[in-house]
């Protein structure tokens, strides 16, 4: 025998289904926030960073006129993260020589950053750093850049190349277990700078000194003719 549904019961069931659908949509979209767009202005940021062992306020606008590599990492005092940060720090001079500032960021506090810097590398610390460690305790910066895992409150391994006009030129986001390549990041910055200056395009695996291509159907054949 079937129960006759009243208008109130039908309305309740409809509202319940709508609520479930809302939660499902929220669950699907709340893992990370929206990713910023290539060729568009990079999200502005300001915060306290550890710079040369001291606390210092920095902002994206401080670096206008030069390239910026901004990379997020999950947490201080972890495992893959120090290998990345140390690798970028140890080669920061190579980036500076081509007018590029490297900045590392996480949702830890600046006090945690400083404690990590002051811990010797042999004990799991970072030791002396030549790049800023930006504190994003409110998670706003990671959220603005679309790399924040809303469930855990930590960012994925997002890396952003920002040009001298402060527009985004490249975005990569790694899952937590895998670190990034300093060599590839440096190569990409060099490639974007070359195209900015010369108006040509860089083929796969291009490095400074290698052949480039003219963005023209006829002219590009010269590249393939000689390759």
Active site (catalytic) residues: 81
Please check whether residue 161 is in contact with residue 168, taking contact to mean a CB–CB distance below 8 angstroms: yes
Distance CA 168, CA 166 (A): 7
DSSP state of 75: -
SS3 of residue 226 by DSSP: helix
> Of 166, 104, 159, whose CA–CA distance to 131 is shortest?
104
- Cα separations in angstroms, 158 against 114, 152, 173: 22, 16, 4
- Cα separations in angstroms, 137 against 19, 47, 82, 117, 147: 32, 9, 19, 17, 14
* Cβ-based neighbour number of residue 71 at 10 Å: 24
CA geometry: angle at 15 spanning 3 and 20, to 5°?
A: 105
Distance CA 170, CA 37 (A): 9
* Cβ-based neighbour number of residue 36 at 10 Å: 16
């Amino acid at each position: 025998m079937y129960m006759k549904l009243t208008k109130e019961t039908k309305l309740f069931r409809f509202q319940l289904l709508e609520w479930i659908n809302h939660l499902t949509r929220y669950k699907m979209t709340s893992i990370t926030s929206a990713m910023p767009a290539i060729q568009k202005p990079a999200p502005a940021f300001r915060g306290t960073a550890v710079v040369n062992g001291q606390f210092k306020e920095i902002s994206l606008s401080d670096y206008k006129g030069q390239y910026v590599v901004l990379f997020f990492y999950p947490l201080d005092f972890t495992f893959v993260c120090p290998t990345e940060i140390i690798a970028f720090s140890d080669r920061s001079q190579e980036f500076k020589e081509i007018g590029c500032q490297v900045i590392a960021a996480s949702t830890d506090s600046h006090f945690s950053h400083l404690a990590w810097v002051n811990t010797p590398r042999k004990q799991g610390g970072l030791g002396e750093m030549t790049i800023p460690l930006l504190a994003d305790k409110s998670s706003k910066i990671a959220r603005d850049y679309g790399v924040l895992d809303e469930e855990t409150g930590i960012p994925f391994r997002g890396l952003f190349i920002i040009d001298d006009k402060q527009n985004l030129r490249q975005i990569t986001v790694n899952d937590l277990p895998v670190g990034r390549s300093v060599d590839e990041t440096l190569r990409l910055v060099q490639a974007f700078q070359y195209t900015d200056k010369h108006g040509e395009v860089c083929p796969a695996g291009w490095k400074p000194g290698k052949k480039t291509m003219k963005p023209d159907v006829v002219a590009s054949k010269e590249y393939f003719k000689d390759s």
